Amino acid sequence: MRIALAQLNYHIGNFEGNVAKMAERIAEAKAEGADCILFGELAVCGYPPRDFLEFADFIRRCEAAVEELASLAQGITVVVGAPSVNPVVEGKDLFNSAYVLSDGRVQDKVHKALLPTYDIFDEYRYFEPYRDFHVVKIAGRKVAITICEDLWNVGNENPLYPACPMDELIGQGPELILNLSASPFQYRQARERIDVLKHNCARYGLPIFYCNHTGAQTELIFDGGSVVLNAAGTVYDEMPYFEEGLRIYDLSEVAASAEGPARLSADRDQPKDKFDLIHRGLVRGVQDYFGKLGFKQALLGLSGGVDSALTLVLAAEALGPENVLAVMMPSQFSSDHSVSDSEQLCANLGCPVIQLPVAPVYGSFMEQLEPHFQGKPFDVTEENLQARIRGVYLMALSNKHGAILLNTSNKSEAAVGYGTLYGDMCGGLAVIGDLYKTEVYALCNHINRIRPVIPEHILTKAPSAELRPNQKDSDSLPPYEELDTILFEYIEQRKGPREIIAEGHDEALVRRTLKLVNRSEYKRHQTPPILRVSPKAFGMGRRLPIVGKYLG
């Protein structure tokens, strides 16, 4: 039995595009003699379709796409994810299903049992969990078809679900496990995924063919990394990250690799270096945001600091340097090196760069506003005013030239609210918004090791917003090493103040930091979507009340 894994970059709601892409891969797999081709979870509509699933019209289009794929399933079995209508009147109206297509029609359907409803996942919002398990016959073999999370309840200390689908299926004597996934990237995911699959191999003694999405859907990036493990839990092959591809595997060869002399001596998976993955993931995220929205041009404000420098490097790699306009907007508080460092970076990259001064417009605003300031002194108002003038400049250029403004905020400043709403928080996409400041530096260093493009001075000078004389981030924030540790404990680890203090951090600092995080929720509410690379990003996966009083 020859099994093809098609790891594809779908586009949510683009049925025509998704089906055309799958049709090509079906033809290719047939030509190479595959008996079966596996696509991703909810592949026909893309993942996550979110509330489009609540539209009957959308579901009809999903069904039509499945019919079209069924007509192509001649001489090959196609296994593809799509929503299907729950025929039982009680419960949610849909299932998250895998369709088994052959001989030109739908032969069987299997539905997802474990519905992730945490972090960025909302599956129980739409789907009824399935309880009625059965194995499927493909090319004369008994196959256990599972959908993503269905395999993830094994090997946990604190299992999320009372049920375990493979425990139900194993009694029916399946010979292999297929898994259709839509498993979004974060820097630990590739490792965790293989660990989970190994747990399944150990528990059930079966080979697993796991097929993931690749490509980005707004903030979610899918890393691909589709993988085949033999019954011994050894990685037989892992497909590339962040790229489309088709690979065909011979079941008997996979089986043979589990035993005897042909047993694999080492797992054939790829390195999973955190910053290498993040680097490639972010480039893919920018490319797909632009590509799927039909845009080619980007722009951003280049301050001379490390955040905008990194964003520019990533955007130039994703879109081509000629498509990314860098805009320098020095104010009276900007240092000379802000401009010279920025110019050097643009020269290194080959990006166009222009300069717009903040001062004239600032003067014009202040002339009107001062009579209404009632003699109050220079404060955050005037700082924000500079940032907002920059925002207006950038949005004007964005509108006039049809270019998307990239947001350059990092996760540390988003966390504590160290940014100006409608100023430096503007943009269509936050490229590095899921990287703490210390991770921003680490990624810059990683990139400079590949190709030294970021001027050293950008990486060594003290971070500053340059919104008042001689301002430094360290005037109002603790050193980033310490701040980021506290933020990680609170945001990723969800520890409380007592636990974080108990780890040796200064109590006043911890309390002030957590208070800043909770009080800045209103700012993050209006943030652009943030490319997610961590296990807990700001945005759809972290939902907090704005008027909440907890630790605030």
Identify whether 201 is a catalytic site residue: no
Rounded distance between C-alpha atoms, residue 65 and residue 43, angstroms:
10
Give the angle subtended at the CA of 261 by the CAs of 256 and 264, to the nearest 5°.
65
Residue tagged active-site, from 36, 62, 148, 164: 148
Would you say 27 or 160 has its CB closer to its own copies? 160
**Quick one: which of 190, 193, 197 has its CA closest to 276?**
190
Rounded distance between C-alpha atoms, residue 75 and residue 219, angstroms:
38
Residue tagged active-site, from 21, 41, 426, 466: 41
Rounded distance between C-alpha atoms, residue 250 and residue 34, angstroms:
9
Q: End-to-end distance of the chain based on CA atoms, in angstroms?
A: 60
Whether 114 and 151 have beta carbons less than 8 Å apart is answered as: no
Q: Which two tokens stand for residue 14?
A: 């683009």
Kind plus residue range of the DSSP H or E element containing 313: helix 306-319
Rounded distance between C-alpha atoms, residue 360 and residue 363, angstroms:
5
Kindly state the smallest distance separating residue 424's Cβ from its own copies, in Å.
12
Would you say 198 or 523 has its CB closer to its own copies? 523
How many CB atoms lie under 10 A from the CB of residue 523?
Answer: 19
The DSSP bridge pattern shows strands 235-238 and 245-250 to be unpaired
Given the structure tokens 């739908």, which residue do they identify? 106
How many CB atoms lie under 10 A from the CB of residue 328?
Answer: 22
Rounded distance between C-alpha atoms, residue 122 and residue 42, angstroms:
14
Identify whether 41 is a catalytic site residue: yes
Identify whether 45 is a catalytic site residue: no
Give the angle subtended at the CA of 537 by the CAs of 532 and 540, to the nearest 5°.
90
Half-sphere exposure of 361 (CA within 13 A, CB side): 15
Rounded distance between C-alpha atoms, residue 208 and residue 152, angstroms:
13
Kindly state the smallest distance separating residue 520's Cβ from its own copies, in Å.
12
Beta strands in 162-293 (DSSP E): 176-180, 208-211, 214-217, 220-223, 227-229, 235-238, 245-250
Whether 413 and 438 have beta carbons less than 8 Å apart is answered as: no
Kindly state the smallest distance separating residue 368's Cβ from its own copies, in Å.
5
Kindly state the smallest distance separating residue 362's Cβ from its own copies, in Å.
9
Kindly state the smallest distance separating residue 209's Cβ from its own copies, in Å.
27
Would you say 247 or 292 has its CB closer to its own copies? 292
Whether 299 and 289 have beta carbons less than 8 Å apart is answered as: no
Would you say 474 or 493 has its CB closer to its own copies? 493
Kindly state the smallest distance separating residue 50's Cβ from its own copies, in Å.
5
How many CB atoms lie under 10 A from the CB of residue 262?
Answer: 11
Sign of CA dihedral 132, 137, 143, 148: negative
Residue tagged active-site, from 21, 36, 62, 112: 112
**Quick one: which of 455, 451, 475, 449 has its CA closest to 464?**
475
Kindly state the smallest distance separating residue 198's Cβ from its own copies, in Å.
21
Would you say 75 or 159 has its CB closer to its own copies? 159
Would you say 246 or 327 has its CB closer to its own copies? 327
Would you say 52 or 209 has its CB closer to its own copies? 52
Kindly state the smallest distance separating residue 277's Cβ from its own copies, in Å.
21
Would you say 347 or 369 has its CB closer to its own copies? 369
Kindly state the smallest distance separating residue 377's Cβ from its own copies, in Å.
10
Would you say 237 or 383 has its CB closer to its own copies? 383
Q: Which residues are catalytic?
A: 41, 112, 148
